Each structure stands twice: as structure tokens, then as C-alpha cells.
Amino acid sequence: MTTTAFRGGTVIDQGGRRPGDIVIDDSSGAIVAVEEGSPADRTIEVDGCYVVPGFVDIHSHLRQPGNEMAETIESGSRAAALGGYTAVVTMPNTDPCTDSVAVVSEVLDYAADALCEIKPSAAITLGRSGEALSPMAELVAAGVRMFTDDGTGLQDAQLMRRALEYASGLLTDDGTSIVLSQHCEVSALSQGGVMHEGAWSSRLGLGGQPAEAEELMVARDIALSRLTGMRVHLQHLSTAGSVALVRAAKAEGHPVTAEAAPHHFTLTDAECAGYDPVFKVHPPLRPASDVEAVRDGLRDGTIDAVATDHAPHTPDSKELPFDTAPPGMLGLETAFALAHTELDLEMERLVELFSTAPARIAGLADRQGGPIEPGRAANLAIIDPERTWTVDRGALASLASNTPFHGRSVTGMVRHTVFAGELVVVDGKATR
């Protein structure tokens, strides 16, 4: 057996912070030693770097099958690896919709050569149409652990209740649990809205989505979680009201989890002033007071995970008028650096937000999200916290270039990424 050691770094996982030399068995892809000075056949010096469990994104649109001009599993997984991710949960709004074992199998086929683990989520309802349940038991047997009608919330409260109750009775072969994940948006209130409803939408003459369109569904799903006793995961919280609702629900002991997207803790609705659809996203960019509330939620544990909502779009679709262009922005390659730069958080908390918590939510904790210890699969991100770099939309691995952060200077760079023992990123470059 040949082995590789990462020497000189600071290991941070749920067990805390400590010096360590991480030795990997190149053939099995497992961690074999973590003590300083452990012998190995080859050494990679990572002085001054953090060695952390690889990141887990529980919300990415990798567009395959259906829109391979914007992204593929391969290109998306490369973007993920460059962002420090070793696992990505893909969203089901593919074409055809990921609502059957056939499409799940197709996604997993594409994922065979991916640069990170690809875990498809599946739609709660057939075709994400909000009318009838997808074959959830079959999908669970095919490995699905997260269900979502992402892009549109499941509007029908009764159907959402049924989905929660039905899912609660499904068994998994590995003992992991199933979670329903909701895009919170009451469409009757958000209809016609292409940005946040407020002073900016009023001035710009664009239709708005009020914060309440999100908050009503957050409140509804917390109530349904109470009614059914079933876990609910709430996607991309973007308003102060949503954060407060989740905080109160957690205080009462309800089994809800929540995520926030990087753009919701870094950008405000004022960005829409130039009508560039690169700033169009659902839920929309909100005013500064909401951005601050999301940051508070990330700080105090109300929000469990950072999730990218990575949404690639071809350039021509983002050159449509603001009201007709599709919503969504890239996230995988910039998420960690933005959080590291913009959130005043300890690295320990960032590791929870980017790795430990999302791995648990997605049912991947047996192999993702740490701890970094012998016998575990080597899924690692090695971070240089001092390195400053500038986001360049032309230099991204994603096939698309719709990042709203082009030209922004950030601090904290993913230097190496190890996926199942393979060095997929070395010195900030993908190895394949």
C-alpha cells in the first residue's frame, strides 16, 4: 500500500482543533493515521492551512439531464471540488424531473466519474406539479434521502402533510433518516414578483415578492412538522421573519433544520438597480436588515447549514430583460470564501455550517462531514485562510458564468480537495 500525508496543518472537525498529519491509504481512500509524525510514502506540506472535513452542499442545480448547456454533473462536480466540496445533493428540477428511479439512476450514471459524491434528491410530487406524490418508497430504495419540490414550494398544505406522514413510515437500509426539504414561497403572494418587494422594486418598476410570501410557508411547515412529528428542512432562509420563526420553533423543540445561501448573507436588493439579471434569484435578494438577520441566524445556530443554491444559466438566458430572465446564480466555487470573508465566525463554526451539519441533514454522515479519524473515508478540504483572490467569472469551472460576485476580492482559498482518498484539487486546480 502507498500512502500520502498532509503535514503541518491544523485539523478542525467536530472534535475540535488540533495539530495533525493526516495519512491516507491511496488505494482504499481511507484515513489511516492522524498523529503528528506518522510515516507515509509521500508528503504534501500544508503549513498554515486548515485540514477540515470536505464540504457538503445540500442544494445544487447541476442541470443534468436536460440543460447540459448550462452545467453537467461533471462540470458541476469540478466546480464543487474547487469549492472544497466532497458531496453535493442535486436538485430534482431536471428535465425530465427527478421523480422516478429511472432518472435517479441516470443521474447516478453521470456521477460515476464525478469529482465529488453526487447524491440526487427527488421531487415530493410527480413532475413537481404539486398534485400527486412521487413513488417515495421506490426512490428511497434507490438511495434518495432528501425530497423537495425545489423552485416552487409545495403549495397544498394537505398534500405536504400527507407527504410528511407517508415519508415518516419509510425505512432505509442504512438506518439514515429521510427529510423533506422545502422551498418556502406562497405563490399566490409572490406571483409576478421578480425581486424583493420594497423600496427598490417600487422605484425600479419591477414586480415584488414580499418577505411574507416566504414567511407564511416557513410558519406553515413548522406547524406541519408539529402536527406530524416529522423533520422538515427549510431551504435558503432570506428574511428576518423566517429566521425568527425557525429560532422560535427550535426553542420549542420542533425537529426543523434550515439553510442559508451565500448571496443572502452578502448581497442586498439594491444590487438590482442596474437591471442585470445576474442578481435575479428566488428567494430574492433582500434589504440589509434581512441580510443581517440571516448572519445572526448563522452565528447563533438557528440556521444549521450554508447551502449554495448553485444555479447555472447560459449567458443568453441572463441577457433577457430582468423580468423574463430565469432566477438563480452560481455558488459552489465562491461559497466558502465568501463566508470566510464576510461572516465573523470561527473556523469551527464554519466547518459545522459547511460540512458536519449538512452531511447529517442529507443522511451522509457515515462518510461525509467528519470526524477526521482513522478508518473514515478521506473526504477533506484543505484551506489556506490567508490567501486573497479575486472572483473571475471567466475562470470558473462551471460551464456557466452567472456569478454575482465577479470582481470581488475574497480571503480564504481551497488549496486541496481530497475525495475518497483522491486528490481532485491540488493548489487550487482540478486534477481532472
Partner 1 sequence: MTVALGKHLLSMADLDRVDIERYLDLASSFAEVQKRDIPKVPALRGKTVVMAFFEDSTRTRTSFDLAARRLSADVVNFSVSSSATKKGESLRDTVETISAMGVDGIVVRHASSGVPNRIAEWTDASVINAGDGWHQHPTQSLLDCFTIWQRLGTGDNGLEGLKIAVCGDIKHSRVARSNVEAFSRLGAEVVVIGPRTLFPPSFDGWPVKVEPDIDAVLPDLDVVYLLRIQQERLNEGLFPSTREYRAQYGLTTERARRLRPGALIMHPGPMNRGVEIDPEVADDKQAVVLDQVAAGVPIRMAVLFGLIGPGQAVDRNEFDRIEHEENR
Active-site positions? Answer: 309
Residue 74 to residues 57, 297, 414: CA-CA distances in angstroms? 16, 33, 19
By beta-carbon proximity to partner 1, the closer residue of 19 and 274 is 274
Assess 206 for contact with partner 1 (CB under 8 A).
yes
By beta-carbon proximity to partner 1, the closer residue of 276 and 348 is 276
Question: Whole-angstrom distance between the N-terminal and C-terminal Cα of the chain?
Answer: 23
Nearest-approach distance from CB 273 to partner 1, in angstroms: 9
Nearest-approach distance from CB 283 to partner 1, in angstroms: 16
Q: Which of 68, 296, 323, 373 binds partner 1 (CB under 8 A)?
A: 323
- Using the contact rule CB under 8 A, the part of the chain among 60-68, 147-155, 314-322, 354-362 near partner 1 is 314-322
Q: Which 49-108 positions form the footprint of partner 1 (CB under 8 A)?
A: none
By beta-carbon proximity to partner 1, the closer residue of 210 and 326 is 210
Assess 288 for contact with partner 1 (CB under 8 A).
no
Residues 242 and 184: beta-carbon distance below 8 Å: yes
Q: What is the number of other CB atoms lying within 10 angstroms of the CB of residue 190?
A: 24
Q: Which of 289, 324, 390, 409 binds partner 1 (CB under 8 A)?
A: 324
By beta-carbon proximity to partner 1, the closer residue of 276 and 342 is 276
Residue 365 to residues 30, 90, 140, 175, 298: CA-CA distances in angstroms? 15, 17, 17, 11, 21
**How far is residue 306's CA from residue 355's CA, in Å, rounded to a whole number?**
9
By beta-carbon proximity to partner 1, the closer residue of 85 and 322 is 322
Q: Which 132-161 positions form the footprint of partner 1 (CB under 8 A)?
A: none
Q: Which of 27, 28, 202, 409 binds partner 1 (CB under 8 A)?
A: 202
Q: Which of 16, 37, 205, 253 binds partner 1 (CB under 8 A)?
A: 205
Q: Which of 320, 366, 388, 409 binds partner 1 (CB under 8 A)?
A: 320
Q: Which of 18, 203, 429, 432 binds partner 1 (CB under 8 A)?
A: 203
Assess 241 for contact with partner 1 (CB under 8 A).
no
By beta-carbon proximity to partner 1, the closer residue of 121 and 268 is 268
Please report the DSSP string for 305-374 in residue order: EE---B----GGGGGS-TTTSPP-B--TTTHHHHHHHHS---HHHHHIIIIIHHHHHTT-TTTSS----T
Instruction: Could you list the beta-strand ranges (E) of 122-246.
Output: 146-147, 179-182, 195-196, 208-209, 232-234
Residue 45 to residues 23, 388, 420, 426: CA-CA distances in angstroms? 12, 20, 20, 12
**How far is residue 271's CA from residue 409's CA, in Å, rounded to a whole number?**
17
**How far is residue 373's CA from residue 169's CA, in Å, rounded to a whole number?**
34
Which helix (H) or strand (E) is 190 found in, with range?
A: helix 187-190
**How far is residue 35's CA from residue 52's CA, in Å, rounded to a whole number?**
15
- Using the contact rule CB under 8 A, the part of the chain among 59-67, 93-101, 197-205, 242-250 near partner 1 is 197-205
Assess 210 for contact with partner 1 (CB under 8 A).
yes
Residue 143 DSSP one-character state: T
Q: Which of 316, 375, 394, 407 binds partner 1 (CB under 8 A)?
A: 316
Q: Which of 319, 366, 392, 427 binds partner 1 (CB under 8 A)?
A: 319
Binding site for partner 1 (CB under 8 A): 197-199, 201-206, 208, 210, 274-276, 316, 319-324
